[in-house]
């Protein structure tokens, strides 16, 4: 004799299937979309805040670099000469002829003397040693400098060339002679710009359904540089 489920059992079965196969409602989809959009906006404004200074500086120096030929710069040259103490000169002459590497930093005693006598920090900087002289190239953003120790004449000569603040900013743009810390900043700034651009594009995608001009403007921003490269750069 067949057994039929009781009315209470069929109700429980229908309730169970209803719970497992409930489709997403429009409200749930809109809530997820709103949460995704809030996250995009948050990443967008954080990346823009982090890259604000760098974006302005690199944009302005992009203009100055692009018109560097039209921007006149008059370098200012400063020179200083100081006599090397006899004891230090003899020590350096002995070290210059000891057969060690031709390029190595100055010893601590010479480094301290240069700092005191010439207000110049050369600690750890490579120096070119040869018999009778030591030469240190001291490049810097926006200029150049060098220090020459003449062990025969017992004289230290320092020359600094300053090409102005525009050249200084241009060298920061290129990362020229800026040191390890600034190179790390450029890398982090570049990552922040990528996040800023990608999140901006995704936000545009979200709003594209209600703004017909989104994709034509985005396409223009892609096609115009590509055409300039293909037609005018050879």
172: which residues sit within 8 A by CB, 6+ positions away? Answer: 57, 61, 141, 178, 182
Instruction: List pLDDT tens digits, range 73-82.
Output: 789 999 999 9
Domain count, the chain: 2
In this predicted structure, the answer to whether residue 16 has a pLDDT above a threshold of 90 is no
Domain boundary among 130, 163, 196: 163
pLDDT of residue 165: 93
Whether 113 and 64 map to the same domain: the answer is: no
Would 26 be classed as within a structural domain?
A: no
Phi-psi region of 164 (alpha: psi -120 to 50; beta: other; left: phi over 0): left
Give the integer Cα–Cα distance in Å for 195 and 47: 6
Domain boundary among 163, 196, 214: 163
Whether 81 and 46 map to the same domain: the answer is: no
pLDDT of residue 91: 94
In this predicted structure, the answer to whether residue 133 has a pLDDT above a threshold of 50 is yes
Mean of pLDDT values over 194-219? 90
Mean of pLDDT values over 47-70? 93
In this predicted structure, the answer to whether residue 204 has a pLDDT above a threshold of 70 is yes
pLDDT of residue 3: 53
Say which range, 24-28, 49-53, 117-121, 186-190, has the weakest mean pLDDT: 24-28
Question: What is the distance between the terminal CA atoms of the chain, rounded to a whole angstrom?
Answer: 91
């Amino acid at each position: 004799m067949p057994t039929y489920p009781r009315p209470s059992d069929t109700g429980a079965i229908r309730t169970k299937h209803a719970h497992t196969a409930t489709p997403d409602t429009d409200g749930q989809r809109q809530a997820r979309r709103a949460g995704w959009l809030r996250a995009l906006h948050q990443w967008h404004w954080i990346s823009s805040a982090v890259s604000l200074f760098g974006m302005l500086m690199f944009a302005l120096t992009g203009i100055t670099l692009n018109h560097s030929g039209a921007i006149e710069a008059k370098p200012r040259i400063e020179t200083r000469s100081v006599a090397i103490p006899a004891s230090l000169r003899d020590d350096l002459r002995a070290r210059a002829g000891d057969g060690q590497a031709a390029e190595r930093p100055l010893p601590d005693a010479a480094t301290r003397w240069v700092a005191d006598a010439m207000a110049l920090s050369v600690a750890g900087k490579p120096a070119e040693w040869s018999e009778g002289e030591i030469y240190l190239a001291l490049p810097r953003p926006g200029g150049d400098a060098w220090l020459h120790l003449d062990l025969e004449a017992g004289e230290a000569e320092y020359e600094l060339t300053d090409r102005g603040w525009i050249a200084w900013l241009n060298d920061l743009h290129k990362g020229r002679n800026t040191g390890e810390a600034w190179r790390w900043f450029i890398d982090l700034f570049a990552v922040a710009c990528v996040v800023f651009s990608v999140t901006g594009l995704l936000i545009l995608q979200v709003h594209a359904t209600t703004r017909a001009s989104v994709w034509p403007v985005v396409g223009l921003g892609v096609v115009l540089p590509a055409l300039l490269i293909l037609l005018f750069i050879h």
